[in-house]
Structure 1
Amino acid sequence: MTGPEHHQHIDLNGRAAIVTGAGSGIGRATAIALARAGARVLGVGRRREALQATADQHPGIAVHPADLRDPDAPAGVVEAATERWGRVDVLVNNAGATAMMPLAETGADRVTALFALNVTAPSLLAAVALPHLREASGTIVNVSSTYGHRPLPGAAHYAASKAAIEQLTRSWALELAPEGVRVNALAPGPTESEALSAAGLPEAAVAQVKEAEAARVPLGRRGEPDEVAQWVLRLADPGTTWLTGQVLTIDGGLELT
């Protein structure tokens, strides 16, 4: 399923894509899938080594280390792509943080930091990329979460940040439709990634959470990053001409429970 032959029907030759959070998980799988379909991909993330490991998977991937919470970062990212390739056709807003934050422990700094990465950064990136997306009749794919439209006790602000992404997706889709720019979102369920460890949970707790998550999913397991990346690829496909403003949930049926 991951081989180049799987992508023959999606042709991104000559197109340029930006993928944030490309150092691991869904972002890494997406960067590779887009490159295999012929796109030139700029992988963005905070850790150069992790990005380099992604780029090592395909010669079509270039890297750009940046902390997207830095106010100058979005302009720097788009500039890095346009200087290399003269265009931006696809923007995949995948970078984001998960934060366990019960209401009793909610603090202003933590809320601000979470929204800075999960809501403000993708908004600014989209704004800076917009002139290029207009020119290319390009597309934005935002990565939400099944918890963008389901409650998540103990991590309400994470869920709220993803709900914001879904509403931005719908509103931008209407706003940009007259200019031929499509905007959609994917809402993955629990997927194999480093997010839980990055959130500061000890390994034993991570294993416990993963097991509990898999047990709740009707298809009986957590998702693989490549299973989500396939759908980013489909949403980014220039052949997907009439689909905009949609949030597609890929979660093994979890949202139905």
Structure 2
Amino acid sequence: MFTPLSTLSPIRGQLWKLASGFALLVHPRHLARKFVRCFLLIQYTVICWCARYYRYCNTPAELVTAVEMALRGLVAIITGSSSGVGAGIALAFSKEGAKLSLTGRNLKNLEEVVKDCKKAGCQDVLTNVGDITQDAFRKTLVESTKKKFGKIDVLVNNAGISSLCPLQSATKDQYDRMMALNVEAPLFLTQLAIPHLIESKGNVINISTAGTSTIAPGGGVYVMSKVALEAFTRYLAQELATKGVRVNTVNPGIVPSQMISRIVDDKGQAAEVEKAMIKATPMGRACAPEEMGHIVAFLASDKAGFVTGESFRADGGFTMTTPAIA
């Protein structure tokens, strides 16, 4: 017999509601409905996750990684960027969202690097072709970069030159050319950029060599210039630390580049020299230019915001086991 709820006490009424609700839940018809609803919910959830995964996989890389770009919006001057390590740095910076001011002496090579950078997603690229050892060109480089982009955040002093010349037979011309490009150019270009770097709280990265920690026959003058560059890094880092500007050095090991060919092209030994250096590298390979570029990009980013005055060696273990190359 059905008992009206109005005739029950409040507590008994609540118990009756619960009991009635439970009876409805366990009724076969309601159980079937809930099973169907649960199945549809699971199916809907799976479809949603599949759709999200498909959309992620088919979204252009530059959109997927936009929030991960460590250099997004930063303006970087990269010298010697028409080949080798400089080109690798430019490409790595492009993928990290930087705006680029590239310079080199080979217009054709520089144009190819610009094409690669644009394919990597960087549409803001300024180029200046000229000799970085000249005062007027350095001034033009800094002023044109500031004019186009409105700021300068990163300066990468990568341009360099080497030559096999034992100290006992090195000429004044060989010494002057290496010191002019490897030491004087970074010093005076950096001086021009410092006011802008202070304004942006930016940083300077100088490209040295792993050879400053080992001995390579015939590399005396070249290594002298790079040791000077590393001293420049430490002293400038100390001077600019209180102004929020970081200064660091990267010391690459063997990187396939035109420099090796230029050093030994008169002897036709470029391939042999590169092979010997790779053999002396514990990791058993050379470093790809872009691979070195990602190391430079890390130091240029806020991820290395507490690093200054340091020399960052990336040589595959070369200097760890190689006191000299015969």
Query: Shorter-chain TM-score category?
Result: over 0.9
Establish whether residue 21 from structure 1 lines up as the match of residue 85 from structure 2: no
Aligned equivalents of 1:174 and 1:84: distance in 2? 30
Partner of 2:110: 51
Q: Distance in 1 between matches of 2:235 and 2:159?
A: 20
Q: Deviations over 1:177-236 (max 9, x none)?
A: 010000011000111111112235158411111111111001111211111111000000
- Corresponding position: 1:237 with 2:301: yes
Please tell me whether the aligned partners of residues 8 and 37 of structure 1 are also in contact (alpha carbons under 8 angstroms). Answer: no
- Structure 2 Cα separation of the partners of residues 255 and 104 of structure 1: 24
CA contact (8 A) 1:149 1:163 kept: no
Distance 1:128 1:32, change over 3 A: same
- Within 2, Cα distance between the matches of 1:220 and 1:11? 30
Higher Rg of the two aligned structures: 2
Letter in 2 for 1:39: A
Matches within 5 A, 1:150-189: 150-189=214-253
For 1:182-197, list aligned pairs within 5 A.
Answer: 182-197=246-261
C-alpha distance in 2 between matches for 1:7 and 1:227: 20
CA, structure 1 residues 237+73, in 2 after alignment: closer, same or farther (shift >3 Å)?
same
In proportion to residue count, which structure has more helix? 2
How many pairs align? 255
Q: Could you list the runs of 5+ residues in structure 1 that have no partner in the other structure?
A: none
- Whether the 8 Å CA contact 2:71–2:297 is kept in 1: the answer is no
Residue 119 of structure 1 aligns to which amino acid in structure 2?
V
Once the two structures are TM-superposed, the CA of residue 70 in structure 1 deviates from its matched residue by 1.2
CA distance in 1, matches of 2:204, 2:247: 5
Distance in 2 between residues matched to 1:201 and 1:187, nearest whole Å: 24
Instruction: Report the 3-state secondary structure (helix = DSSP H, G, I; strand = E; otherwise coil) of the residue aligned with 1:151.
Output: coil
SS of 1:213 mapped into structure 2: helix
User: What are the within-5 Å matches in structure 2 for residues 32-51 of structure 1?
Assistant: 32-51=91-110
Q: Could you tell me how far 1:61 is from its partner in structure 2?
A: 2.5
CA shift at 1:69, angstroms? 1.3
Taking the aligned partners of 1:203 and 1:63, their CA distance within structure 2 comes to: 34
CA-CA distance at 1:238 after TM superposition: 2.5
Q: Provide the rounded CA distance (Å) in 2 between the counterparts of 1:103 and 1:124.
A: 26
Alignment partners' CA distance in 2, 1:124 and 1:216: 36
Deviation per CA, 1:133-156, whole angstroms, max 9, x where unpaired? 000000001000001232322110
In structure 1, the partner of 2:131 is 67
Secondary structure at 2:185's aligned position in 1? helix
> Unpaired segments of 5 or more residues in structure 2?
1-60, 322-326
- Percent identical among aligned pairs is 33
> Which of 305, 316, 323 in structure 2 is aligned with 1:252?
316
| 1:9 match | 68
CA-CA distance at 1:22 after TM superposition: 0.5
Relative to 1, partners in 2 of residues 1:6 and 1:119: Cα closer, same or farther, differing over 3 Å?
A: farther
Aligned residue number for residue 102 of structure 1: 166
Normalising by structure 1, we get a TM-score of 0.94
1:76: which partner in 2?
140
The more displaced of 70-79 and 115-124 is 70-79
